[in-house]
Amino acid sequence: MSAAPDALSPAKTGARRRALAPSKGRRPWTFYVLAAIFTFYVVALYGPMFCIYVLSFQDLRGGLVFPMKGLSLHWFVDLFTQARTGDVAGAFDRSIKLAILVTVITVVVSLMSALAFRRRFPGDTIVFALMIGSLVAPGLVLGIGVGLMFNALGLPTTWWGSALGAQLSWTLPFGVLVMFAVMSRFDSAWEEAARDLGASRWQTLRLVIVPVLAPGLVAVALFGFTLSYDEFARTLQTAGPQNTLPLEIWSMTLNVTSPALYALGTVTTIISFLIIGASLGAIVWIQKRRGRRASST
């Protein structure tokens, strides 16, 4: 079976190359233009962040601007030992806990609503419009609104209460939209087949729906976590007396004038990358495990 396409392919690729690059072997000038644009894009995207990471490794004499003075981990130590930099460890702890809470709720609700939205139900367009509405509403305004409402109701604003709600208004619509895309490739015949084979609704969910959708659910979790972890606008007026990490960083930019601020940036970025790496690793692991089990005969 594979012999036929192989025999054809040299002629095919030859034709394709001719069509794209008339001058044999040399790249067209458009290649260099596009490469330059892409390079500029990458530098513009990562350059500023990279400046911060580099400046965080200065020694005691370091300042907030270039040129770089010395090379040490001084400001990382300073970050976690000096009281004047604020409650970084506490803020970090709260942000992680809040992000986990947001992730779990987002994943569960997104899955359930994606399952529900496969069928028409009375008011479905209204529910959908309300959901998109909270996505497009300006975050700061929404945050102020939530804060005001808590005040009016006489409830204290807290990071695990009002801020959680404000963040969900942002992560849930995102999660649901991602799940819609994931669900579009879900064949409802699988559910029907499970039912035909005697599975209860719960067994169908546990043994068929969730495993089939697992990579999509990991993607939603990743979305929920990162959106929550660096959320600022909606959290500002709702977090109450205890800051989350982005709020803490923001207040530090106002009163900390040492490279400790940059060290914090480096640390949080590393954590973000670890989480993204772990999630992608989980997706790859799921796919690999399926592939390996399949090929080991």
Partner 1 sequence: MTNQRGAIELAGLTKSYDGQTNVVQGVNLKIPNGAYCCFLGPSGCGKTTILRMIAGHEDPSDGEILIGGDNVVGLAPAERGTAMMFQSYALFPHLSVRDNIAFALRVRGQGKAERYRVADAMIEKVRLTELRDRLPGQLSGGQQQRVALARAAVTEPRVLLLDEPLSALDEQLRIQMRSELRRMQRELGVTFVHVTHSQLEAIALADMVVVMEKGRIKQAGPARDVYAAPRDRYVAEFLGGQNVFSGRVGAVEGDVIRLDSAELKSVIVPLGAAHVAAGDRIDVAVRRDDINLHRPGAPLAAGASSLASRVMGVEYQGNFVKVMLDAVAGDEFVVYVPERAFFEDPLSVGDVVMAAWAAERSRLLA
DSSP state of 156: P
The helix or strand, by DSSP H or E, that contains position 257, with its residue range, turns out to be: none
Q: What is the rounded CA–CA span in Å between residue 62 and residue 258?
A: 8
Tell me whether residue 120 or residue 293 sits nearer to partner 1 (CB atom). Answer: 293
CB of 192 to partner 1, least distance (A): 6
Determine the longest span between alpha carbons in the chain, in angstroms. 77
Q: What is the rounded CA–CA span in Å between residue 262 and residue 65?
A: 11
Tell me whether residue 61 or residue 289 sits nearer to partner 1 (CB atom). Answer: 289
Tell me whether residue 6 or residue 196 sits nearer to partner 1 (CB atom). Answer: 196
- In Å, how far are 7, 9, 258 from 3, measured between CA atoms? 6, 10, 66
CB of 147 to partner 1, least distance (A): 44
Q: What is the rounded CA–CA span in Å between residue 63 and residue 258?
A: 6
Residues that bind partner 1 (CB under 8 A): 187, 189-190, 192-200, 203, 207-208, 211-212, 214, 290-291, 293-297
Tell me whether residue 208 or residue 218 sits nearer to partner 1 (CB atom). Answer: 208
CB of 188 to partner 1, least distance (A): 9
Tell me whether residue 135 or residue 214 sits nearer to partner 1 (CB atom). Answer: 214
CB of 186 to partner 1, least distance (A): 10
CB of 135 to partner 1, least distance (A): 31
Task: Convert 239-266 to b/e letters by CB count within 10 Å (16 or more is b).
Answer: bbeebbbbbbbeebeeebebbbbbbbbb
Q: How many residues does the chain have?
A: 297
